[in-house]
Amino acid sequence: MKKTLVLGLILLVAITSLYATNKRVQALGNNAYMLPGDDASIQLFPQRINDMNLIYFEDIHLGSPNYLLVVGDSAKSWGFYGGSVQQDDYFNIIKTLGGRSAVRMGVRFGITSQTGLDDDNETTPTTSEEKLSQTNIMLDLEYGLDTETMELSTSIAFGMTPGTINSLLGFAPTPHGSFTGDYESGGSSTSSEGKASKLSFALQVKSRSNSGLLFFDNSYAVFGLAYQGGSSEYTSANTKLEDESGNQFAINSTYRVFNNQNLADDKIFLVYGLGGSLFFSRTADEGKLSGSESKDTDMSFGIFAPIMNIGLEAKLKYTTLRFGMERQITTLGFTSTKNIYVSGSVDDEDTFSTFTLGGNGVYNYNAGMGFNYGDLQLDILINNTFWITGPQMIFNDLYGTLGVCADLVYTF
């Protein structure tokens, strides 16, 4: 069985940031870095808790919204967050270290053990005993600092989690740490055992500055790397049915310059930015079983430039209208896959590669609205299919046909 380790930007972004940006950010080009005054900056730089007190619910149209609470003054601020994205007893807290710095910490810890004993009084008695255990540990730390000209943040994530023993166990394919089973029927007995483990590590460094290039007044840069390795074994009746290991390493880097301006007596807000990014990933999987061996190696590399974001916000009497777009060009892309299979005298080796120079990339646009009642803000994002099909429903699990996604923020 080939085991695929999914890592990439999931660890680089999802683990080392709070969660996805809010609906105002998405409607203005989907780039929270270019909106320093928005509460979404807390998701990027934890020291921003010194600037505001708020309670925030993201995706309130779903059954389990994400939440963020920040309270206290600039020297004693603290906050905590969680929701549908942060599960499995993941506790997250942010604490100020003064007026210019703060630390964020997330901890996940859990131990599960299960024992099953089956003793049947049948014509041919059968007995079985199974034991299952797993341990899940995840630590996420981030430190943020404001200087007079720059915001800085460094975060690390480390985890030891169960891997996956495949469905040979007779269970659904859920994570397991270790498994042992003893079975007896009609005077004969068999035994099974299995174990699986996974190690994850991620590092990310972020900066945002009020200096840029050319006619841009601001800039930001992000660098991240991540590693994930895992292995699994399963043996039944002294026959090894699974012996696999794999790892993935990924690097991601981006740099952008941007401006945001208030126009028409602060009734119009304009934000725009330009930059590029680089991504590298290498995945290796190896399996050994009954005299056969397989090795799969995948490598991908890409440079994406230019990446352009534009957002426009207009304040009307009763509401705020927003529109934004993101345009990305693939400057250079390369992928390579190598599969090796050895069984006895049979040796099969296949190699595939793709090279791309220039090409069409991502093009996204969004529209949304904002409604204010004092310090209470309701931000709505409209699904793009609304412009084609028209309104047919308000909500479903994702966007619905009308596609209304909503965030609710109260600032105090």
Query: What pLDDT tens digit does each residue of the chain (412 aa) get?
Result: 333 333 333 333 333 343 445 899 999 999 999 999 898 899 899 999 998 899 999 888 777 788 999 999 878 899 998 887 666 567 789 999 988 999 999 988 888 888 887 776 666 677 888 888 888 888 999 999 999 899 999 999 999 887 776 555 554 445 568 888 888 877 788 898 999 899 999 999 999 999 988 899 999 999 999 999 999 998 888 888 888 999 999 999 999 999 999 999 999 999 999 999 999 999 999 998 877 889 999 999 999 999 999 999 999 988 999 999 999 998 999 999 999 888 766 678 899 999 988 877 888 999 999 999 889 999 998 887 777 776 666 665 555 556 678 899 999 8
What is the per-residue pLDDT for 346? 66
Q: Which residues face 266 on adjacent strands?
A: none
Is 3 inside any structural domain? no
What is the per-residue pLDDT for 9? 32
What is the per-residue pLDDT for 88? 59
Tell me which residue range forms the domain holding 306.
Answer: 8-411
When divided into structural domains, the chain yields a total of 1
CA dist., res. 156 & res. 223, Å (int)? 12
Is 2 inside any structural domain? no
Q: Which whole-number Å values give the CA distances from 318 to 315, 374, 394, in the listed order?
A: 8, 12, 21
* Residue 385 and residue 405 in contact, taking contact as beta carbons nearer than 8 Å: no
Is 209 inside any structural domain? yes
Largest CA distance in the chain: 89
Query: Which residues, including other chains, have CB under 8 Å from residue 178's CB and lie 6 or more apart?
Result: 132, 133, 134, 193, 194, 195, 196
Q: Model's pTM, two decimal places?
A: 0.83
What is the per-residue pLDDT for 172? 43
Is 171 inside any structural domain? yes
Q: Which residues face 310 on adjacent strands?
A: 272, 325
CA dist., res. 13 & res. 201, Å (int)? 12
Is 1 inside any structural domain? no
Q: What is the pLDDT of residues 107-137, one digit of tens each?
A: 888 888 888 877 766 666 778 888 888 888 8
Give the torsion through C-alpha atoms of 204, 210, 212, 217, to 10 deg: 140
Q: Which two tokens stand for residue 211?
A: 């200096």
Is 292 inside any structural domain? yes
Q: Which whole-number Å values give the CA distances from 321 to 61, 254, 381, in the listed order?
A: 20, 29, 10
CA dist., res. 140 & res. 402, Å (int)? 37
Q: For residue 306, is the peptide bond before it cis, meaning its omega torsion is within 30 degrees of 0?
A: yes
What is the per-residue pLDDT for 383? 80
